[in-house]
Every structure is written in structure tokens, then in C-alpha cells.
């Protein structure tokens, strides 16, 4: 089924088209949710909420961009909304200090695995993790992140800087990246 | 997605790894999505069941009353009278040893002895009866002589008892006679002569006003008039709402709008463009007659309210729906609709389905039982069965749905003026009504207050309980 046929089927509320769309995008989108969620169950809840929104709001898709981008945006908003229902979220995202240490050893990295990187991201504090996901992976600007998370743009920037530093530290510890020439981080995969 | 900031190789690395990583959701996710999208909502069935249940109860109650109405037809009455007395006559054969009993029954306009009671009396007091029943209305005369030898214990055998097991020695309101037969005048008297001695007696019943007999014979089985009415009603309505409140922050859109020189755009009513839509009200009620003019009413009522809001389609964005503050997390919902300046115009439909228990009073301003003008008002504790409504974001930019801010219980008040008339065995009522939701549709965390209101035309059908 072509993407156009999928969209039209979903607009007609056809279960077959909906299932095909779900099967096509759910693995990738669950991994998106997983990066924001506390655990796998929360990620599946986020995915469920997001897909219901996608199917019920499909008529709003304007064909101005790729369907995947539109779907992914809704899923990310669902994740943030899910997190916002947790009272601790706003505290976490406003956290301005985090104890991150850079590891200085020059271990040879093992073969990089996507799963390991994702798990490293998930080790970050909630606020750091969220900002890092939105900025580094989803590609939102700090101004947009500030609006989404109800924080200052400067807070988003500082959160990201700290998150990035902490993640680099973790990746170094896990031998997923190496230090080059004393200060530059070189990706092991490169 | 736009990228306004510089991203180095680290971000590209993370993005690449994130894209490589796939997770497969468990079956429960798709099942839950399917269920949400394709399982019919239960509340319409609940309401339909409720309505049919109410109609079933109503018709069950009305059924015996209808039978009684049929029973009052001249043919039916005549047939009944004959069958009763023929049977009695067949069981009592001889006419010896008469005992004369004379007793006067004075039946005034308030209480009338029934034919049944007369016959009961005859059977109890005498062993031989001669009962003359004259019915001038149908020109029938039945004379019965009761035999001493076999009638002393025959009362239980009488078909009267079989026919009307629940009614023995009853009295009836005169108003019932007047209403049903229009024969008896107020203060009319019926003298029933019933002479009694210690010896054998002749029991002779004479009616001074024979025309009364038909009523006497017909009405013994009419119970005392109930003070409770059953009522079912339906009311097509025009649904709308009142909005109150203002935006909590000034967004870029608001700033833009304000610079255009428009007046106080922070007032929600200056931003919202909405229009009424058709709703309805459906219910069943019990009406208790407190006095001739005042009635107490309660029951179960289903309300359906909807209205339309003008909006504009837009790409997904977060819409703030609560102010947050100390101890509260600000609630945001994903919105694909803007209140202004979107991609294309659309109309959103907000709908509310409610189940209410109206508790009210009816008052008859003028009129009688056949035709009257009434007013009524009620107070309605309400449970919201379905609340599918787009809420205006607190920055007044977007429309979004957020169920956690909906109020599940509410209070409504209703007032109406109606004409009531008796026709076809039912009392019909119709007239305009107005219902107003006293509490906001949303919880206090949402700064915008919404009161639903409905203008309708009610049509009701009621029947007195037996």
C-alpha cells in the first residue's frame, strides 16, 4: 500500500490501513518514546497515546512535509505531555546543576551498538535527557524546546551543554567513544 | 524540522544511532489502539436501554388502566353484569323462607357503596335474596331471587369474587363517577332499601335513581385515584454556552493581535467565534400531586448538548490549558487547531452527554384537569457521560482536548412554561423550556469558565398511576 493509500485508508478509519501504518512506524517510534520514558511500559503508553492522536487527527495532515515527520512530531509531543503529567518533571527539567565527570583514559572503544548509546542516553537525569533528545536527536531549536518545556531558552542551552558533557562521560566510561589529542572526542565509529 | 543551531558530529552520531535503534511494541499496544478507535462507545447503549426500560415500566403501569377503560364500555359492563348475576342465579334455586331486610344506604357525593358491597351484604345477611337492579341507561332489569338452602354460604362462590379478588366492600370517590360516566350529580342520593328482621327475610334492593346503577356496577373496581403520575418527555433543544475568563499570558500571536489595535483581546469572548447546534433532552419522571395546583417531580433525564466553534487547522503544537503555579503542574495538550491565523478554516464540534436527576416543582397557574397553564422549575444533579470538547488554550491561541480538566459532576437548573391537556387517556404537556449549567464544564485549574445553556420545546406525556 502506498503512503497516499495508507493516509486515505486511515482517513476512512479502515483498520487494515491503520494497522499497516502502525506496523510501518511503530518500531522506530517506540524507540523514540523509549528515550524519553522511564521504562518500557511507559514508552508503550506514550506510543499508544501518540498513535490514537495520529489516527484521530489524520485529517489535519496537510501534505506540506513528509508523513513520517508529522507522525514523529506528534509522538514527541505525546511523550512530553506524558512526562508533564508527572509532577517531578518540571523540577527535573529546571535542574541547573549535575555532577558530571569526564573520564580521561584513552580506552579503545568496542563496536558501537545503537542500543548501548540509547541506554546511555536513558541514564541521564530526566531533564537532561529530555533536552538532549529534543535538541540533538529530534532537531528542535532551543527556542522551541523552551516553549515546549516551559523553561527559559538559556536554561535549555545550559541543560543541553551539561547533558552533552554527562553523556560523553558515560560513553567514554562505556568505551563507546574515545578521546583524541587530549581534548577532542572522536566517535569510535568514525 | 528546522535546525537553527549548529550541531557538530556528536549530535549527528546520536541521531544516527537513534535512527538505527528499533523497538517492537507488545501486542497490547495495538489492541488498545484498536479498541479505542473501533469499539463503539457504551454510553449511547446505556441511555437507549434506560429509555426503553423507562418506557417498559411506563407501559406496564399504564396497561391495567387501559384495560379498565375498556371494561367500562357499555357492552362490556352489560356482559359483565349479566355473567355475574346469571352465575349467581344458577347457584341459587329456590325462593322459600324469605327474610325481609330493610336498610337504608345513603350515598352522598363523596362516598358510594358499590354494587359489590350491596351484594356482599345481601349474601351475608340473608339466606334468600331478591335483588332488583334497574339500569335505565341500557334499559335492563335483572331480578334475582336467592334460595335459602343453598345461598347461605355461597358468597365465596360468586363470580364477583373471582372477577374482582382484590376488591371487597370498597368505597369510591364520587369524582371518579362524575369523571367517567357523567351521570351522577353532586349531592345525589341513592336510597337502598334493605329491610331486616330476625326471621327469614326478603332482600330487596331498590335504587331511587336507577341511572346510578350503571355507575355503581361499573365503578366498584375503580380504585381511589392515585396521587402519582408517570411522565415521559422529549425536548429538542438549541444548545449554546456562556464563556467567561481571560488569557493568562501574552503570546507572540497575542502580541501581534494587540498591535493591530483591537480591543481587549485578553477577554475570551473577543477571541472565540462559536455558534449553537441542535441538542436534546429525554427523560422519565414521577410526578407527585402535593395539592391540586402544586406537584413535586423527580426522575431520570438524559441531556445532549452540542455547539460549534470556528477554528483554523495548523501543524501540531503544544497548547497550555492550565496556569500551573505552586503545587500544580501546567497542563499542555497537543493542538492542531488555532483560534486564528491557521492554514485553513474549520468548525470544531463540542458535545456533552449527561445523565441528570431532576428534582423540581410544577405549579398550575390557571385551568382544570382537562386544560391548564403551568410553570415548572427543577434542580438537576448531573453526571457527565461524555465530554468531547475542544478547550481554548490559556494563551487563547489554540484549541485542544484535555480530559483531565473536565468536570465529571455538575449542576443544572431548568425552568419551563407549559400547557397541559387531557386527551386519549393521557395528559399531554408542551411548552418552552430553558436549562442552564450552574457550574463550569471544567475544573478550577482551567481559568476559562464555561456554562452550557439549552433552549428547548418540551413535549411530555403523562398518566396517573393506578
pLDDT tens per residue, range B211-220? 444 444 444 4
Taken as a whole, chain B contains a residue count of 466
Which cell goes with B231? 411522565
Please choose, from the candidates B436, B376, B446, B445, the residue with its C-alpha nearest in 3D space to the C-alpha of residue B410: B436
pLDDT band at B59 (very low <50, low <70, confident <90, very high): low
**Of A17-21, A86-90, B201-205, where does mean pLDDT reach its minimum?**
B201-205
In whole angstroms, give the CA distance from residue B160 to residue B358. 44
Average predicted confidence (pLDDT) for chain B? 68
Q: A129 CA to chain B: closest CA distance, Å?
A: 12
Please choose, from the candidates A69, A149, A160, the residue with its C-alpha nearest in 3D space to the C-alpha of residue B329: A149
Among chain B residues, CA nearest to A65? B1
Q: Do A48 and B19 touch (CB under 8 A)?
A: no
In whole angstroms, give the CA distance from residue B461 to residue B117. 36
Q: Do B10 and A30 touch (CB under 8 A)?
A: no
Interface probe with B: pick from A22, A33, A34, A48, most Cβ of B within 10 Å: A48
Q: What is the pLDDT of residue A91?
A: 58
Cβ pair B310, B274 in contact under 8 A: yes
Q: Do B318 and A85 touch (CB under 8 A)?
A: no
In whole angstroms, give the CA distance from residue B18 to residue B57. 63
Interface probe with A: pick from B15, B27, B33, most Cβ of A within 10 Å: B33
Please report, for residues B354, B355, B409, the alpha-carbon distance to residue B385 in angstroms, rounded to integers and kept in the order given: 5, 7, 9
The closest CB to that of B1, out of A13, A139, A167, belongs to A139
Q: A100 CA to chain B: closest CA distance, Å?
A: 17
Interval B437-451: pLDDT, tens: 999 999 888 888 899
Which cell goes with B371? 386544560
pLDDT band at A81 (very low <50, low <70, confident <90, very high): confident
In whole angstroms, give the CA distance from residue B118 to residue B142. 15
Strands (E), B293-358: 294-320, 332-338, 344-356
Q: Is the pLDDT score of A146 beyond 60?
A: yes
pLDDT band at B190 (very low <50, low <70, confident <90, very high): very low
Taken as a whole, chain A contains a residue count of 190
Q: Do A190 and B14 touch (CB under 8 A)?
A: no
Q: What is the pLDDT of residue B433?
A: 94
Q: What is the pLDDT of residue B418?
A: 94
Q: A137 CA to chain B: closest CA distance, Å?
A: 5
Give CA angle at B372 (B367, B376), nearest 5°: 120
Cβ pair A43, A37 in contact under 8 A: yes
Tell me which chain A residues have a C-beta less than 8 angstroms from the C-beta of B4.
141-143
Residue with cell 498591535: B259
More confident residue, A145 or B253: A145
The closest CB to that of B29, out of A47, A57, A77, belongs to A47
Please report the ipTM that was assigned to this predicted complex.
0.80
Q: What is the pLDDT of residue B188?
A: 38
Q: Is the pLDDT score of B385 beyond 80?
A: yes
Please choose, from the candidates B56, B58, B69, the residue with its C-alpha nearest in 3D space to the C-alpha of residue B462: B58
| Beta strands B359-367 and A184-187, pairing class | unpaired
Q: Do A30 and B25 touch (CB under 8 A)?
A: yes
The closest CB to that of A53, out of B7, B29, B334, belongs to B334
Q: A139 CA to chain B: closest CA distance, Å?
A: 6
More confident residue, B63 or B323: B323
Cβ pair B313, B302 in contact under 8 A: no
CA B161 to chain centre: 36
In whole angstroms, give the CA distance from residue A72 to residue A78. 10
Q: Do B316 and A185 touch (CB under 8 A)?
A: no
Which cell goes with B370? 382537562
Please choose, from the candidates A44, A167, A53, A102, the residue with its C-alpha nearest in 3D space to the C-alpha of residue B24: A44
Interval B91-107: pLDDT, tens: 443 333 433 333 343 44
Q: What is the pLDDT of residue A15?
A: 87
Tell me which chain B residues have a C-beta less than 8 angstroms from the C-beta of A56.
37
Interval A158-177: pLDDT, tens: 989 999 888 888 888 877 77
- SS3 of B183, please? coil
Interchain CB contacts (distance < 8 Å): A and B: 152
The closest CB to that of B37, out of A18, A28, A121, belongs to A18
Q: Is the pLDDT score of A80 beyond 60?
A: yes
- SS3 of B16, please? helix
Which cell goes with B111? 362516598
**Of A78-92, B158-172, B372-386, where does mean pLDDT reach its minimum?**
B158-172
Cβ pair B104, B162 in contact under 8 A: no
Instruction: Give residues with Cβ within 8 angstroms of B38, minimum separation 6.
Output: A13, A15
Cβ pair B243, B269 in contact under 8 A: yes
Q: A89 CA to chain B: closest CA distance, Å?
A: 9
Q: What is the pLDDT of residue B342?
A: 79
Whether pTM exceeds 0.90: no
- Report, in this order, helix, strand and coil percent for chain B, each rounded to 5: 25, 40, 30
Tell me which chain B residues have a C-beta less than 8 angstroms from the C-beta of A164.
10
Q: Do A34 and B9 touch (CB under 8 A)?
A: no
Q: Is the pLDDT score of B237 beyond 90?
A: yes
What is the DSSP track for chain A?
--HHHHHHHHHTT-HHHHHHHHHHHHHHHHHHHHHHSSSHHHHHHHHHHHHHHHHHTGGG--SSS-HHHHHHHHHHHHHHHHHHTSHHHHHHHT------------PPP----HHHHHHHHHTS-HHHHHHHIIIIIS---HHHHHHHHTS-HHHHHHHHHHHHHHHHHHHHHTTSEEEETTTEEEETT-
Q: Do B336 and A60 touch (CB under 8 A)?
A: yes
Q: Do A115 and B15 touch (CB under 8 A)?
A: no
Q: Is the pLDDT score of B329 beyond 70?
A: no
Amino acid at each position: 500500500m502506498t503512503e497516499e493509500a495508507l493516509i486515505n485508508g486511515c482517513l476512512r478509519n479502515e483498520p487494515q490501513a491503520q494497522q499497516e501504518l502502525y506496523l510501518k512506524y511503530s518500531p522506530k517510534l517506540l524507540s523514540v518514546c523509549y528515550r524519553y520514558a522511564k521504562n518500557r511500559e511507559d514508552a508503550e503508553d506514550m506510543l499508544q497515546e501518540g498513535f490514537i492522536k495520529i489516527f484521530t487527527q489524520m485529517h489535519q495532515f496537510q501534505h506540506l512535509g513528509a508523513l513520517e515527520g508529522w507522525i514523529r512530531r506528534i509522538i514527541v509531543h505525546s511523550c512530553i505531555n506524558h512526562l508533564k503529567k508527572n509532577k517531578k518533571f518540571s523540577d527535573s527539567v529546571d535542574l541547573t546543576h549535575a555532577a558530571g565527570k569526564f573520564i580521561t583514559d584513552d580506552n579503545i572503544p568496542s563496536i558501537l551498538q545503537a542500543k548501548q548509546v540509547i541506554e546511555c542516553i536513558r541514564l541521564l537525569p530526566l531533564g537532561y535527557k529530555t533536552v538532549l533528545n529534543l535538541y540533538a536527536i529530534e532537531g528542535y531549536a532551543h527556542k522551541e524546546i523552551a516553549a515546549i518545556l516551559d523553561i527559559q531558552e538559556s536554561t535549555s542551552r545550559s541543560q543541553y551543554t551539561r547533558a552533552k558533557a554527562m553523556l560523553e562521560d558515560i560513553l567514554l566510561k562505556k568505551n563507546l567513544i574515545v578521546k583524541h589529542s587530549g581534548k577532542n572526542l572522536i566517535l569510535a565509529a568514525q | 524540522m528546522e535546525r537553527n543551531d549548529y550541531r557538530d558530529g556528536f549530535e549527528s552520531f546520536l541521531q544516527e544511532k537513534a535512527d538505527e535503534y528499533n523497538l517492537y511494541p507488545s501486542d497490547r499496544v495495538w489492541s488498545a489502539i484498536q479498541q479505542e478507535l473501533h469499539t463503539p462507545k457504551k454510553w449511547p447503549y446505556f441511555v437507549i436501554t434506560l429509555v426503553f426500560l423507562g418506557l417498559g415500566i411506563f407501559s406496564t403501569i399504564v396497561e391495567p388502566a387501559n384495560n379498565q377503560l375498556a371494561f367500562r364500555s357499555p357492552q362490556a359492563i352489560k356482559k359483565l353484569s349479566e355473567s355475574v348475576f346469571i352465575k349467581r342465579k344458577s347457584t341459587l334455586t329456590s325462593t322459600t323462607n324469605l327474610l325481609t331486610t330493610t336498610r337504608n344506604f345513603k350515598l352522598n357525593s363523596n362516598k358510594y357503596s358499590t354494587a359489590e358491597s350491596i351484594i356482599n351484604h345481601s349474601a351475608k345477611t340473608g339466606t334468600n335474596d331478591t335483588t332488583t337492579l334497574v339500569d335505565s341507561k341500557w334499559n335492563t332489569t335483572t331480578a334475582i331471587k336467592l334460595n335459602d338452602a343453598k345461598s347461605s354460604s355461597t358468597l365465596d362462590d360468586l363470580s364477583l369474587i373471582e372477577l374482582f379478588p382484590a376488591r371487597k366492600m370498597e368505597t369510591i370517590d364520587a369524582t371518579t363517577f362524575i369523571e367517567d360516566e357523567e351521570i351522577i350529580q353532586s349531592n345525589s342520593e341513592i336510597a337502598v332499601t334493605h329491610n331486616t328482621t330476625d326471621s327469614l327475610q326478603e332482600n330487596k334492593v331498590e335504587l331511587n335513581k336507577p341511572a346510578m346503577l350503571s355507575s355503581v356496577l361499573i365503578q366498584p373496581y375503580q380504585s381511589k385515584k392515585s396521587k402519582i403520575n408517570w411522565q415521559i418527555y422529549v425536548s429538542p433543544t438549541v444548545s449554546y454556552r456562556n464563556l467567561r475568563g481571560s488569557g493568562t499570558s501574552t503570546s507572540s500571536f497575542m502580541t501581534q493581535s494587540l498591535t493591530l489595535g483591537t480591543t481587549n483581546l485578553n477577554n475570551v469572548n473577543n477571541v472565540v467565534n462559536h455558534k449553537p447546534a441542535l441538542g436534546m433532552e429525554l427523560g422519565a419522571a414521577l410526578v407527585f400531586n402535593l395539592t391540586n395546583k402544586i406537584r413535586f417531580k423527580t426522575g431520570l433525564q438524559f441531556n445532549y448538548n452540542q455547539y460549534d466553534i470556528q477554528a483554523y487547522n495548523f501543524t501540531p503544537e503544544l497548547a497550555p490549558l492550565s496556569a500551573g503555579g505552586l503545587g500544580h503542574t501546567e497542563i499542555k495538550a497537543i493542538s492542531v487547531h488555532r483560534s486564528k491565523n491557521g492554514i485553513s478554516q474549520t468548525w470544531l464540534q463540542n458535545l456533552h452527554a449527561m445523565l441528570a436527576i431532576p428534582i423540581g416543582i410544577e405549579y398550575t397557574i390557571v385551568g382544570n384537569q382537562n386544560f391548564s397553564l403551568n410553570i415548572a422549575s427543577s434542580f438537576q444533579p448531573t453526571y457527565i457521560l461524555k465530554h468531547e470538547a475542544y478547550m481554548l488554550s490559556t494563551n487563547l491561541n489554540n484549541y485542544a482536548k484535555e480530559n483531565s480538566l473536565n468536570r465529571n459532576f455538575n449542576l443544572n437548573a431548568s425552568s419551563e412554561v407549559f400547557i397541559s391537556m387531557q386527551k386519549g387517556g393521557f395528559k399531554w404537556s408542551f411548552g418552552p423550556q430553558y436549562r442552564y449549567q450552574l457550574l463550569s464544564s471544567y475544573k478550577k485549574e482551567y481559568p476559562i469558565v464555561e456554562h452550557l445553556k439549552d433552549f428547548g420545546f418540551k413535549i411530555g406525556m403523562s398518566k396517573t398511576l393506578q
